[in-house]
Amino acid sequence: MFDVEQPDVLDAVARALAEDIGSGDITSQLTVSPDQVASGSFIAKQSLVLAGVELLPLIYKTHGSAVNLQLLQASGAQLEKGTVIATVKGTARTLLECERVSLNFLQRLSGVATLARKHVAEVACTKTKVLDTRKTTPGLRRLEKMAAAAGGVTNHRFGLFDAVLIKNNHISAAGGVRQALEKARAFDGPVEIEVRTRAELDEALACGATRLLLDNLTPADAAEWVRYINGRASTELSGNINLSNIRDYAQAGADFISCGAITHSATAVDISFRLELNP
């Protein structure tokens, strides 16, 4: 689930360590003996869905220090308060230097996974799959989408490069629905188009559109549009959809619901690191 060999992941970890440690952890260097050995535990301080624990070996490896690390849980696991996520043993300086970077990744990514799982739970027993979006933290998209997947969400496109999504501004710039779809036929991959009116919907279907984005509809309007489309294209709903109303939208019968809140509004969860000195 978490590909720690993916270049974006390697880069994110390296940048995070460089950002935090810089030229050195002066507090630890001044106050902690270089020979002092310690053990540490990462502990869930609330109920959460875990994500990113597989980054811990990469963090310590990139830092350049040998440690004895045990991962006791995996991304996607539902944890209760008090669950030990991982343990690590090494020099106290190493554990202190890697503490904040490790926690930042675990808390942020688990926050995304936890919110993702809540959205997925709300659409249970419907045909609808929940999608994430490109509304991610700059530089952390790959990791945040991995976290969303750990929470049970289906990844939408990773960027502007891997799928065509023709939105209202593209339609305006291209000169209309038909023109935009005709120009997009050169792409050998998925093509989706946003339709805002019934006229645009009919035009898109007449042009052979296979996936439609229906934006900013009410649940009742969404259900009416999905019935009208009647399987002639797959449907995705988006816009003003949140935990309080996502089930109403799912019951409209759409194939997909995309929710930017899963990444842009996720709150970091509470995970702590407990250090103990070894004799």
Active-site amino acid positions: 100, 135, 167, 194, 215
Beta strands 271-277; 164-166: pairing state: unpaired
Please say whether the beta carbons of 275 and 148 come within 8 A.
Answer: no
From 143, 52, 30, 51, select the one nearest 96 (Cα to Cα): 30
> How many angstroms separate the CA atoms of 155 and 222, rounded?
22
**Phi, psi at 109, each rounded to 5°:** -70, -35
The encoded tokens of residue 168 equal 């209202």
Q: Pick the closest to residue 12 from 89, 76, 74, 104 (CA basis).
A: 104
Distance CA 194, CA 26 (A): 54
| Alpha-carbon separation of residue 35 from 28, 38, 99 (angstroms) | 12, 10, 18
